[in-house]
Homo-oligomer: A and B are copies of this chain.
């Protein structure tokens, strides 16, 4: 089943201990859709400027991603510059230029309206809510957010959470959103805000899925997927969005959703996140094959399973 994703398509300048890249294609919607495209049909809603040309378009075309919802407008695309020189787990932002994104009014192409899955990537919660309300018939809605919206746009974000089935955020964010430093307690508080499923990403330590009412004993309603211990993390940019793409893309491809589907989805999320880190920007996702994905899935099983 098709996924519609709304989010940023951007240019990123990135510096990591492994090197530098200037103005490579980035943005949450870009990473998400490249990653999910290995599992299902993906449709993107975003806005770009004059600097988004044939080379950038080709990255989506090669993966057969529907881009009729990417609006082209005068001006420059969203630009982000950041580095990971001291800490590979957390970007230091140098520049955020919203550019054409500052006045973005998401428009949903008619051809997208039969999408069964909707992903609200990390953008202004006011926009997330607008897209959610414009697509009332979707079967499953997942979303992401970040510390900036949690701190400064809480009321709008809380409205978005009410309309989500699944929220994917990181450790720091779930604790900030719940004002609680215990992961299990914070997860329960966030699920009470709307989403019935919560995926908490732990960076190099994997991710935890919380579902249903978490008990004191914990594990009955949780599932942990590992991350692959990597010899070299070249660039962690987009790892979280790639995780979301693998997770949600896998779910969208299933004939029906069982508890086992969600466990497998967690593994596919981790698999896609691990690939994203291996090269700068979207380079690794662009060069990836489904066979490599399945091989790594097996590695993840060996990494964690007793027998």
Q: Residues of A at under 8 Å CB distance from B? A: 88, 181-185, 187, 202, 204-206, 208, 214, 216-220, 222-224, 226, 228-233, 260, 263-264, 267, 299-307
Task: Determine the residue in chain B with the shortest Cβ distance to A303.
Answer: B219
| Residue contact A219 to B299, C-beta cutoff 8 Å | yes
Known: A184-B231, A204-B183, A233-B182. A220 touches B302 (CB 8 A): yes
CA A205 to CA B226, docked complex, whole Å: 9
**Residue among B202, B267, B299 making CB contact with A217, cutoff 8 Å:** B299
| Residue contact A229 to B219, C-beta cutoff 8 Å | yes
Best-buried of A233, A263, A267, A303 by chain B (most CB within 10 Å): A303
| Residue contact A218 to B205, C-beta cutoff 8 Å | no
Beyond the given pairs A205-B206, A218-B229, A260-B307, 12 more chain A to chain B contacts, judged by CB atoms under 8 angstroms and listed by A's residue number, are A182-B232, A183-B229, A184-B229, A184-B231, A205-B205, A208-B229, A217-B299, A219-B228, A224-B229, A267-B306, A304-B304, A304-B305
| Shortest Cβ distance from residue A152 to the other chain B in the assembled complex, whole angstroms | 25
Task: Determine the residue in chain B with the shortest Cβ distance to A183.
Answer: B229
| Residue contact A222 to B217, C-beta cutoff 8 Å | no
Q: Tell me which residues across on chain B come within 8 A of A300, comparing CB atoms.
A: 219
Q: Tell me which residues across on chain B come within 8 A of A230, comparing CB atoms.
A: 182, 184, 218
CA A301 to CA B300, docked complex, whole Å: 15
Task: Determine the residue in chain B with the shortest Cβ distance to A300.
Answer: B219
| Residue contact B202 to A218, C-beta cutoff 8 Å | no
